[in-house]
A and B are shown apart, each in its own frame.
Chain A
Amino acid sequence: MMQFMLLFSRQGKLRLQKWYEAHPDKVKKKITRELITTILSRKPKMCSFIEWKDMKIVYKRYASLYFCCCVERDDNELLTLEIIHRYVELLDKYFGSVCELDIIFNFEKAYFMLDELLLGGEVQETSKKNVLKAIAAQDLLQEEEKDLYLQNDILSLLAPPW
């Protein structure tokens, strides 16, 4: 089971964090800081795995973003790389050649996407098409609500709440 996933930039800025095990905020911050420093200091020719406490860290860099997952000892680290890759592919399809800025300004969408791919630290869907379909349907629900809202309230045309 995946313990957590972190996305951070080459400058060490956290872009997304998903925790599947409960920790106090302080601990989360400490772990995040520790891992960001460790990973950023690793050279490109090093492998993507780090033994960390009794867990394994699997990370991969895509352009300016690092995707970092913590998995358990028994988990397959090569497959974890595939999970990361799948997530990147999904974001790419959704945003259309995704970049760091997409994830900064639409971080909630990135979370929604992750929640359709993984649940409780396990992969829930192996078909890209199904994930994107579910996201599209939910986005549509939001759109419909917005339309309904705009019809009801002409004043808010200036500033739709969402």
Chain B
Amino acid sequence: MEDEHKLKSTPFTMTDPHFVKSTKKGIMPTPKRLRDLIREIRAARTAADERSVVNKECADIRQTFREEDNTYRCRNVAKLLYIHMLGFPAHFGQLECLKLIASPRFTDKRIGYLGGMLLLDERQDVHLLVTNSLKNDLNHQTQYIVSLALCTLGAICSCEMSRDLAGEVEKLLKSSNAYIKKKAALCAVRIIRKVPDLMEMFIPATRALLNEKNHGVLLTAVALIIEMCEKSPDTLNHFRRLVPKIIRILKNLIMSGYSPQHDVNGVSDPFLQVKILRLLRLLGKGDMEASETMNDILAQVATNTETSKNVGNSILYETVMTIMDIKSESGLRVLAVNILGRFLLNNDKNIRYVALNTLLRVVNADYNAVQRHRSTIVDCLKDPDSSIKKRAMELCFALINSNNVRSMMKELVVFMEKAEPDFKTECSSNIVTSAEKYSPNKRWHIDTVMKVLTTAGNNIRDDVVSQLIQLIQASSQLHAYAVQKLYICTTTDLHQQPLVQVASWCLGEYGDLAFVAVEDEEPLDITEADVVELLEKILQTNYSSVVTKEYAINALMKLSTRLPSQTKRIQSVLSIYGSSMDLELQQRAVEYSALFTKHDQMRSGLLEKMPLQEAKVTNGDDMTNGDALLDELEDNNDTSNNIQKIEPRKTESQNILDLLGDGNEPLAPVISNSKPSKDTSGGGALLDLLGDLDMSSPAGGPPPLMANPMLDSPLDSMMLIGGDSSTSPVNNSLDEAPAYPPVTAFEKNGLKIEFNFKRDGEQIQVHLASTNSTFSDMENFVFQAAVPKSFQLQLEPPSASTIPANNAGAVTQVIKINNPQKQAIRMRLRMTYTTNGSPVTEQGEVSNFPNNLWQ
């Protein structure tokens, strides 16, 4: 602080170096030269050595600074700047820089301003001092000192500085010296960027700059106009009148003969050309008349520019962007897209990359023109550069339509096979989406998704499994075809979990069709035993996840009625898993075994084919690519600021509500046991339960387990699989007169919350049961719920605050809802708990309440 005061009070007149030296000579050793310091630092062998050299030098420098030595200040600051670049703190040199700037010597100023630019930025509080020095130097008679000041102003340029010095800059903008004028123009750019209000004062001077011949002045003037036009639509309109003049400048530039000063590889001043093209883009955007005036010159630049080198292509690239952005003629737009098409064939990877990037930007506006370059774009999928590959892939997906979907998919599947894992995820999910959008027929669709599963199996989105199952299920003529294909795929490769899951499901449902001849396909030479053996293998192999095994065990059970010759064998396999270490498998095996013994007469009815599933709305049909999915996942994992992020999800669920309309079909895995089906003998409700079991075990997480798998009645335990927890207060919904199907209100990261409903007159009681399928307890569990204002909600205390791990019990709680206006119920949930010592917050929304609940 003391330094600063001194600085303000004493004007800087440089003492004669001679004088300083003679008075201080004996006391102070000559400071090390910059060159020597750099050598010494470079000689340091370790980081610690380097640090000690630097620390010692910094101490010396501080000492000299303290002694107010003027002779060597410049050298010391220079050394400090080197030290700063190595990453060491150097801010104690800031004031010394100011002193150097105030010195009359050019050498001092040059280093002082350099230090100022490196050590100060607009965040520093010493600005007032800098501003004063700058003001002085901007009026200096030596142009190089004015230049240093302008350069520093351009680098720091804080708001205050902009306001204080805008006047000086405007004056310099009108100077007769081109060297100063160009620098002043760029300072003006920075000033306007910082304080747009100051624009007005520069406009007259700027217009005059366009009459200059000097390229530096023209270039910076155009930059200044661009900045003004970007900041203010009024100014944009003002400068639109100058379009003919700007075009003339560009024309002169291209037509002018060779000028060694400004040529780059035979191209006349590319920097100026590009700047002017950029300005034209701004001026022509959205303005028919201005755009029309530009057509000719743009065509001229587009056709006459030398393209053998990067520099020519940089101009073409800018031209293309201008053509695409303004209201240009359609012929010109085609020309532009063709230039990009030519870029794609260029040897230079940078140019190929730029082309793909730009095509991606314009593909929607000029779809057909881009479509013409499809084959070149597809070739870019084979590029060694991964950024190019990625762009090409994105562009390919943008170009798929129902006409080219077959050939494009073929290419993309080949690409995916060879691609790196991170590509596979994005590519596979895009293929699935596009296949759904443009598939010419179901067989092709099934083939394509199956191909995705076989090539990128473990990298795909979770919902692809249920999507494919549904697709197969819905195309009844293709059941035999699909099941045989899947059989072949699975026998060759058991690694791809999603594929194996789909195969298991289909074998279970349509196992009997594996032996039927299919048109155009070679018949499979297999026996019923082979099919069962495959499923056994899936159960045994280490590649299979628990979910896959669950699929397989269900399939086996189903096959017990489809392949009567194998019933005995299936029974014995099931009995083996009756003692599986995995609870879920064990439970299923035990229950299924019981079906053979105690309830054999119901078995065939229970294991009927699944009824056609409604499309799951949660499948994310609108999802366009893997990115979106990833975003959502990140959202969900982000527990800290979920509050804002719940908004989009809210609308999503409202959409879901819309989709459902007033249909009676609830959303999630829900047991609809209110009406037993007619065609089954007594086991109708159970069939539904089982059906639900099949579909409710997607890869998202295994269905809940119960506390004690060994229940006396298999019937009861079947119910439990369906989702009711044994601790749930309302259990026997089968017996109850108006039954409301339970709803899975929330299921994520092992936490599952189920709602069971009861109506007490006008009041709705929601009995919720929270279970935990992870391996560690969830402690301090707090459940909160919120409903729209038209409802009244009352939350009773929970049964416990800890949800035991491994589904070993549930926390129950009762929510009472009054719904006087009889509206559809929607509820927001918020759960917090601690698991393994780390707090977790989850949020969710439930809108799939059974609607007979309030009607």
Contact = CB atoms under 8 A, between A and B. Distances in A.
Nearest to A83: B271
Interface in B322-354: 349-354
A25 to B, nearest CB: 8
B414 interface: no
A105 B35 contact: yes
Nearest to B187: A120
A127 B189 CA distance: 21
Listed from nearest, the 8 A-B pairs whose CB atoms lie closest are A120-B154, A78-B314, A22-B121, A22-B122, A79-B314, A119-B186, A127-B261, A47-B349
Contacts of B142: 141
9 contacts: A22-B122, A47-B350, A76-B278, A78-B310, A78-B354, A79-B274, A120-B189, A122-B189, A124-B186
A108 B111 contact: yes
B603 interface: no
Interface string B285-324: 0000000000000000000000000110110011000000
Which of A1, A16, A24, A115 lies at the interface centre, i.e. has the most chain B CB atoms within 10 A of its CB? A115
B362 interface: no
B676 interface: no
B114 A134 contact: no
Contact of A120 (B22, B85, B86, B157): B157
A49 B317 contact: no
A105 B78 CA distance: 11
Given A46-B349, A81-B310, A107-B85, A141 B354 contact: no
B215 A126 contact: yes
Contact of B261 (A49, A129, A149): A129
Contacts of A53: none
A137 interface: yes
A111 B112 CA distance: 13
Contact of B123 (A22, A45, A81, A119): A22
Interface string B1-42: 000000000000000111001100100001001010010001
Given A47-B387, A76-B318, A162-B74, A141 B187 contact: no
A82 B75 contact: no
Given A134-B179, A142-B106, A161-B71, A108 B81 contact: yes
Contacts of B349: 45-47
B313 A20 contact: no
Contacts of A23: 121
Given A78-B313, A104-B38, A112-B114, A126 B186 contact: no
B338 to A, nearest CB: 18
Interface string B85-127: 1110000000000000000011100110010011001110000
Contact of A76 (B71, B86, B317): B317
Contacts, number: 178
A115 to B, nearest CB: 5
B155 interface: yes
Contacts of B144: 134, 137-138, 141
B769 to A, nearest CB: 46
Interface string B351-389: 111100000000000000000000000000000111110
B220 interface: yes
Interface stretch (B262-270, B482-490, B646-654, B738-746): B262-270
A142 B685 CA distance: 97
Interface in A57-94: 74, 76-79, 81-83, 86
Contacts of B388: 47
B183 interface: yes
Interface in B214-268: 215-216, 219-220, 223, 261-262, 264
A10 interface: no
Given A149-B17, A152-B17, A161 B182 contact: no
Given A15-B85, A105-B38, 7 more contacts: A45-B385, A47-B387, A47-B388, A49-B353, A115-B117, A120-B190, A123-B219
Contact of A153 (B17, B33, B189): B17
Given A119-B187, A126-B262, A20 B310 contact: no
Contact of B311 (A1, A45, A82, A123): A82
B87 A79 contact: no
Contact of A162 (B82, B107, B147, B313): B107
A48 interface: yes
Interface string B32-74: 0101001000100000000000000000000000000001101
A92 to B, nearest CB: 15
A34 to B, nearest CB: 14
A14 B388 CA distance: 29
Size class of the B contact interface (CB-based, 8 Å): 35 or more
Contact of A49 (B42, B110, B147, B387): B387
Which of B114, B142, B272 lies at the interface centre, i.e. has the most chain A CB atoms within 10 A of its CB? B114
A77 B353 CA distance: 10
Given A76-B317, A130-B216, A141-B106, A82 B271 contact: yes
B253 to A, nearest CB: 11
A1 B227 CA distance: 10
B217 to A, nearest CB: 9
Size class of the A contact interface (CB-based, 8 Å): 35 or more
A161 B258 CA distance: 45
Interface string B173-216: 00000010011001101100100000000000000000000011
A17 interface: yes
A142 B264 contact: no
B220 A81 contact: no
Contacts of B409: none
Contacts of B154: 119-120
Contacts of A134: 144, 147, 179
A141 B311 CA distance: 35
Contacts of B386: 46
B602 interface: no
A120 B155 contact: yes
Contacts of A79: 270-271, 274, 314, 318
Which of B75, B106, B271, B310 lies at the interface centre, i.e. has the most chain A CB atoms within 10 A of its CB? B271
A78 B321 CA distance: 13
B695 interface: no
B583 interface: no
B513 to A, nearest CB: 50
A130 B351 CA distance: 30
Nearest to B349: A47
Interface in A25-54: 29, 45-50
Interface string B372-411: 0000000000001111100000000000000000000000
Given A47-B349, A79-B271, A146 B107 contact: yes
B829 interface: no
A156 interface: yes
B67 to A, nearest CB: 15
Contacts of A45: 349, 384-385
A142 B150 contact: no
Given A78-B351, A134-B144, A159 B314 contact: no
B151 interface: yes
Nearest to B312: A78
B105 A145 contact: yes
A108 B271 contact: no
A115 B155 CA distance: 10
Interface in B146-179: 147, 150-151, 154-158, 179
B350 A20 contact: no
Contacts of A78: 310-311, 313-314, 317, 350-351, 354
A74 B227 CA distance: 13
Contacts of A129: 261
Contacts of B75: 161-162
Given A76-B317, A76-B318, A107-B82, A156 B385 contact: no
Interface in A115-155: 115, 119-120, 122-130, 134, 137-138, 141-142, 145-146, 149, 152-153, 155
A159 B17 CA distance: 13
Interface string B273-285: 0100010000000
